[in-house]
Structure 1
Amino acid sequence: MGKTIASNKNAFRNYQIDDKYECGISLLGNEVKSIKSNRININGSYVAFIKSELHLINAHISPIQNNDLFEPTRSRVLLLNKKEILKIRQQIETKGYTAVPINVYLKNSLIKIEIGIGKGKKTYDKRQTIIERDRKRQAARELKRRNT
Structure 2
Amino acid sequence: MTKKHKKIVTENRKARHNYFLEDKYEAGLVLKGTEVKSLRLGRAHLKDSYARIIKGEVFVYQMHIGEYPFAHYENHAPLRPRKLLLHQQEIKKLYGKVNEMGFSLIPLKVYFINGKAKIEIALARGKRKYDKRATIRKRDEKRDLDRALRNT
- Alignment gaps of 5+ in structure 2: none
1:125 and 1:116 map into 2 onto residues whose CA distance is 19
Alignment partner of 2:12 out of 2, 8, 15: 8
1:128 lines up with 2:134 in the alignment: yes
Partner of 2:42: 38
Q: Measure how far apart 1:6 and its partner are.
A: 0.3
2:72 and 2:23 map into 1 onto residues whose CA distance is 39
After TM superposition, the structure 1 = structure 2 runs for residues 57-68 of structure 1, keeping only pairs within 5 Å, are 57-65=61-69, 67-68=72-73
- Which deviates more from structure 2 when the two are superposed, residues 77-86 or residues 89-98? 89-98
Contact 1:42 1:58 in 2 (8 A): yes
- Report sequence identity in percent: 38
| SS of structure 1 residue aligned to 2:47 | coil
| SS of structure 2 residue aligned to 1:94 | helix
Alignment partner of 2:87 out of 69, 77, 81: 81
Partner of 1:110: 116
Q: Measure how far apart 1:51 and its partner are.
A: 1.8
After TM superposition, the structure 1 = structure 2 runs for residues 17-56 of structure 1, keeping only pairs within 5 Å, are 17-56=21-60
1:71 lines up with 2:71 in the alignment: no
1:126 and 1:67 map into 2 onto residues whose CA distance is 45
Amino acid corresponding to residue 84 of structure 1 in structure 2: E
Pairwise CA RMSD: 1.2
- Which deviates more from structure 2 when the two are superposed, residues 133-142 or residues 65-74? 65-74
| SS of structure 2 residue aligned to 1:113 | strand
Q: Measure how far apart 1:115 and its partner are.
A: 0.3
When the two structures are superposed, what TM-score results if normalisation uses the length of structure 1?
A: 0.94
Once the two structures are superposed, residues 120-146 of structure 1 have per-residue CA deviations (whole angstroms, 9 ceiling, x without a partner) of 000000000000000110011011101
